[in-house]
Amino acid sequence: MKDLILSVKNLSKSYGDLEVLKDINMDVREGEVISVIGPSGSGKSTFLRCINLLEEPNSGTISYQNEVINQGKYNRRKLHREIGMVFQKFNLFPHMTVLKNITYAPQKLKIASKKEIEAKARELLSKVGLAMKADEMPNNLSGGQQQRVAIARALAMSPKILLFDEPTSALDPELVGEVLKVMKTLADEGMTMVVVTHEMGFAREVSNHLIFMENGYIVEEGDPKEIFAHPKNERTAQFLSSVL
């Protein structure tokens, strides 16, 4: 079996009196693609944000490469290099060209020479099918193109894990496919990914583990094809029948 890279144990998170995550457990092994599905407000984004310490959990542990990261002084900068995130609304820097969006953080952190960083950025732009857009400003790109730039930007840090928070939900339907295709390529190449998604086709066909969340709990999880075919929990069945 592949190495465990991330392990979440008994994670809970509240905002005031509102318990948003309740005793969440998840193991991620290298190369795994985990899809997280569930109704709005069930805690999916909060869960992702806890994983890379954008939110502080109230209790429980998050271990990355066998080291607890949410207690004591773990190096957040290192963590944000190694666990990348792609957001629903792309979050590109609007005043920078596409190329600069991708090279900015690697150059700031000096992870390689300027020349190497730029060469890699151009390579990544080709990979997501946007080599010709290097000098454009983000606003001149379609949503699907912007999201592919955001994925290239995340990849420029050579992350060990990529987190996606509904990467296609802000897109016009005809642009969803081009982003999913890039994500599928990454999955096929062995990238470790945790993907919050409403794209049931992706969840079923591309991921190798499915988590269904509701009301802060993981209600059901397992093999995606098995859950889609035979959900064990009544709430999972209801949710799937409402979205399929």
Ligand X SMILES: Nc1ncnc2c1ncn2[C@@H]1O[C@H](COP(=O)(O)OP(=O)(O)OP(=O)(O)O)[C@@H](O)[C@H]1O
Q: What's the min distance (Å) between Cβ of 21 and ligand X?
A: 8
Give strand ranges (E) for 65-188: 67-68, 83-86, 161-165
Per rule CB under 5 A, is residue 45 in the interface with Mg ion?
yes
* Contact between residue 154 and residue 85 where contact means Cβ atoms under 8 Å apart: yes
Q: Please identify, using beta-carbon distances, which residue of 38 and 159 lies nearer to ligand X.
A: 38
- Nearest CA to 77 out of 47, 111, 43, 103 is that of 111
**Residue 43 interacting entry, from Mg ion, ligand X, none, C-beta within 5 to 8 Å by type:** ligand X
Q: Which is nearer to ligand X, 64 or 212 (CB)?
A: 212
Question: Minimum distance from CB of 216 to ligand X (Å)?
Answer: 7
Please state the closest distance from residue 213 (CB atom) to ligand X, in A.
Answer: 7
The entry of ligand X, Mg ion, none that residue 138 binds, CB within 5 to 8 Å by partner kind: none
Residue 41: contacted member of Mg ion, ligand X, none (CB under 5 to 8 Å, by partner type): ligand X
User: Quick one: which of 189, 227, 216 has its CA closest to 35?
Assistant: 227
Residue 241 beta carbon to ligand X: minimum distance, rounded to whole angstroms: 18
Instruction: Yes or no: say if 198 and 243 are a contact pair by the CB < 8 Å rule.
Output: yes
Q: Do the Cβ atoms of 213 and 219 come closer than 8 Å?
A: yes
Partner from ligand X, Mg ion, none contacting 242, C-beta within 5 to 8 A by type: none
First and final C-alpha spacing in the chain:
33
Tokens 């008994």 sit on residue: 10
Give just the sign of the alpha carbon dihedral 94, 97, 103, 109: negative
Count of chain residues binding Mg ion (CB under 5 A): 1
Contact 211, 228 (CB under 8 A): no
Interface mask (CB under 5 A) for Mg ion, residues 122-161, using x and -? Answer: ----------------------------------------
Residues that bind ligand X (CB under 6 A): 15, 18, 20, 38, 40-46
Given Mg ion, ligand X, none, residue 40, with its beta carbon under 5 to 8 Å by kind, binds ligand X
Give the Cα-Cα-Cα angle 33, 217, 243 (nearest 5 degrees). Answer: 65
> Is the CB of 26 or the CB of 156 nearer to ligand X?
26
At its nearest, how many Å lie between ligand X and the CB of residue 46? 3
Kindly list the residues in this chain that would bind Mg ion in the complex (CB under 5 A). 45
